[in-house]
Amino acid sequence: MSLDRYLKRITPCPSSASEPISTDVRKSKGTFIETPFTNFKKAYELCDSHADRHYHKDAVVFCDGFVQEMSGRQASVAVQLRRDLSHCIQTNRRKLHSIVETIMLCGRQNIPLRGHRDSGTDIKGASSSSNHGNFQALLTFRVSAGDTILKEHLESAGKNAIYTSPEIQNQILNILGDYIRDAILTKVRSSLCYSLVADEVTDCSNKEQLCLVLRYVETSSCQIRKDLVTFLECDGGITGDALSDMMLKFLSDHLDPSKLRGQAYDGASNMSGKTKGAASRICSKYPLALYTHCASHCLNLVVVASFEEKSVRNMTGVVNRLSTFFFAHPKRQKKLEEAIQNTQPDSNVQKLKDLCRTRWVERIDALDRVRKLHPSIVACFETISAEGSSMWSNESVVDANTLLLAITSTEYIAALVITQECIQYLYSLTTSLQMEAKDIVHAMAEVNSLTSSLEQVRSNIDTYHSQWLNAISDMCDSVGTTPSVP
């Protein structure tokens, strides 16, 4: 700020145009101001006379105030003219602090801000029996817990200055998101290189979103990190050209694209295509950004192909129906728990698991539980069938009889045992490939180890065949089924 602007800023305006002006102000300022100083014989006299002038004393005060304010040794003139301004600013910040902390808590705990019957009514108008959402309920809880500043604000603020509306909530969320993203990007900039992980998802409004994840080494801790940085709406489509342009624009705006050393996407053609895929387009501009198909996803694709065998496909369909049968009704689940208590009292497993379509670790656990609880499941179905329509609905009885026939057949039992025995070899590798700090050297070593194990099974298939056949016979005997050749 210049001195002239400073003088205009702090010079008070006269309260009335008719207010008398001092004689000293009306006088000509003369030497040193309007005319040059040339009479050196009267230097002392003229300097003393000038120093006694009102305009000189005001100029000295203005100059001293300007230096003090610009050097930070005193508050601004506006704050001095209104002594409570600083206190008001701090109080407003404390009010917003409570509101922002509440929104941060909801975000950290994944709690939606707008709950059931959230009509947007501010907290002042909410009765004790109404529910206007999680955010406003948490504000009420803060007030009841002793937040006097927030209480005073909610009770005294005008309706247009409460700062709890959905619009303000979204603004605060955007500010917090920008702050978190900037903190992550600062860490990425300080690293020597980084990799890009991306995938398309569809949000609840049926819009295609591209989520970007950055993988880098944090310099302060020397640990590998993977952080989600943004969602980009795919307005221009999901072709390889459009996706690559969006990703490169984001990297150019926030990071140095020349430090990009890796890309990781799924196997879709728009991402992995050799000519028009997003990976190849980015690699043409930055050759060091090598594309890697997700290793765990590749393994899943192989398992999907192997599960297309008819008997295995039928078996997984029955397992899906088993989990659906018991998940649909608490009464059925309670009957299964009673059967487990009577048939297998030492079992620590009480529920079945759904066959997850994407995570094969979950699928391995699901098949393992079905195999362990097979006698109890059979006993449960037999009980439901025996009790009949007097205790159960026709749908429950029909489904129980159908599933009982399916899970007691030799073909189902054989497919379950052999599939579960074979797929458990993948458990360690599938879990390991999803680790954040996994490098390609150790991953290849584990893949080679798995390959050797499977080759050993094939080389000694007679031995493993005998073991699996004995397990199949034991399961058939436990449920009273006579083994037959599938």
Tens digit of pLDDT for each residue in 235-291? 888 888 889 999 999 999 999 999 999 998 887 788 888 888 888 999 999 999 998
Helix and strand tally (H, E) in the chain? 22, 5
How many whole angstroms separate alpha carbon 97 and alpha carbon 243?
A: 39
How many whole angstroms separate alpha carbon 33 and alpha carbon 36?
A: 7
Which residues lie below 8 Å from residue 415, measured CB to CB, with a gap of 6+? 311, 312, 314, 315
Residue 402 structure tokens = 């159908």
Domain ranges of the chain: 86-164, 173-293, 302-478
How many whole angstroms separate alpha carbon 406 and alpha carbon 374?
A: 12
How many whole angstroms separate alpha carbon 15 and alpha carbon 192?
A: 65
How many whole angstroms separate alpha carbon 248 and alpha carbon 212?
A: 11
State whether the Cα torsion 204-205-207-209 is positive or negative.
Answer: negative
Average pLDDT per block of 10 residues along the chain, 486 residues long? 51 45 52 80 83 85 83 70 72 88 91 66 52 83 89 85 86 92 93 90 82 91 89 86 90 92 85 85 91 76 77 88 88 91 88 73 81 91 90 91 92 90 83 75 88 92 90 88 74
- Cα-based angle 197, 203, 208 (whole degrees, multiple of 5): 65
Report field, pTM of the whole predicted structure over 0.85: no
How many whole angstroms separate alpha carbon 237 and alpha carbon 276?
A: 14
- Give the CATH number of domain 173-293: 3.30.420
Per residue in 469-481, pLDDT (tens digit) is: 999 998 888 888 8
